[in-house]
Structure 1
Amino acid sequence: MRTDTSTANHRHPHDDAPRTAAAFERLAALPDGPGREALRQDLVRAWLPMSERIAGRFRNRGEALEDLRQVAALGLVKAVDRYDPTRGAAFESYAVPTITGEIKRHFRDHMWTLHVPRRVQDLRGRVRAATQELAANGGAQRPSTADLAAHTGLTEDEVRAGLEAIGSFSALSLDAELPGGDDGYSLSDSLGSADPALDTVVDRESVKPGLRCLPERERKILYMRFFRDMTQRRIAEDLGISQMHVSRLITRCCGRLRDQALGDQAVPEQPAPRANNATRPGRTRRDLQPKRTQTTLSSRQETDAA
């Protein structure tokens, strides 16, 4: 019978590292079946204390310890299934990074309130570790961006991105009370709202080109009506025209400005067609008839003379 490669004199890094080298060799040799599944479960139970110890390293980071233990147990199962004893490495040296990576993946994929790219998350980890190292070596509690860049080998822009990501792991509720503020003063109370006057600014800027194209009288009427708040009757009295005429001019000008502001092509007003002889005031078709007759007779006389 094959003996376990782990002897009594072998020192394990931790007390929760059982001697399972022989069991893993048997697991690799067994075919799929009840016997292999039972041995697999025994190995997982034997190494559960180690996975729980690794999960304890990540406590107080916003996730319940019991949930972290479950994630670590999942990483342990993956390590047991993927471990190859023929490579010569101890199971613990393979399982520890596998379990740790599973926990970090859980934080990356499920714990971030905001979606942060993987590269920025890596920058966050490097900047965070560098901050702790500089503080432990007697440096400032909050080292400068230049110090962090020199310590990590990153550029200052990358350091800034990592610092911003440190505060993006979790979002602050709008109902949370601000530190140092009055009782009941929440973050939502400090947030501004959309200024309704911004729409007015956009509208005014949109109609400026159209206003410049209006005749002077129309511009004056719009100014008196909308900027001086004068009534149509008062405008009519000042300009010496009827109130109905003022109303029609205002309606027409506002319609043109509205169409232009909405993107329609402004159609210039066509001048009124010049009245021809037939429609000129004071003259009728009967008045023109003798002239046509005289012209016709003159033409006939010239033809007869020829």
Structure 2
Amino acid sequence: MSNQLWLKYKETKDDGVQSELISHYLPLVGLHAGRLAISLPPHVSREDLSQAGVLGLLEALQRFDPLRGVKFETFASQRIRGAMLDELRRLCWLPRSLVRQMRELDSATQALATKLGREPEEGELAEELGVPVTELQKTMSQINGSSLLSLEDTLFAHPAVEGPESDTLGQMIEEEEKEQLAAALERLPERQRLLLALYYQEELTLKEIGLVLGVSESRVCQLHAQVIARLRELLT
């Protein structure tokens, strides 16, 4: 997209130019919605995130300054992802029953891993917990949905561009949370740390992570839920 078109839009706010820019950059919304797919709880659809992402894209269009030397894709990605996370915050909360289920999942995972000498499969976990596989899958989906906000907002969040008036006490609390999470991550096996890094830092898709780890996409979802349950247990 040429700088001339951007300059024309900034000067005129022409609706036709805006539509052209939106059409060109709209795939960014789909890209980020897809990357967040692993973390959607059952009651949140990809369409919900996409709608929020479009609002983030519109905000980015209005705020972007083409003369600052920053690529629009980089600038817009933070706005789009931020809008999607805000939507998840609005729609999601963590019930006590899910916290209990996370603890039970972690306990079963650790017990089976010790017994089998490997990571347990989905069916083995369901049998250990005494629940149908479908119920276990639902629990894992909810756990995956609960994980994104805490991890995005602490260790893996992109630094925000704020002014000097930012809250010092809030920054101290955030740094302490980052240190606690970093310490918990160090206690995870290397394979689990790799999975989190590939998803939250490298922003790979489930399929791409599966290729790196040599497992299926559904197995990546299962492993992700187990890692999150383990992290929560380490942090409590």
Instruction: Please give the range of the TM-score, normalised by the shorter of the 2 chains.
Output: 0.3 to 0.5
TM-score w.r.t. the length of structure 2 is 0.43
- Bigger radius of gyration among the two: 1
User: Where is the helix percentage greater, Structure 1 or Structure 2?
Assistant: 2
Relative contact order (C-alpha < 8 Å, sep 6+): which is higher? 2
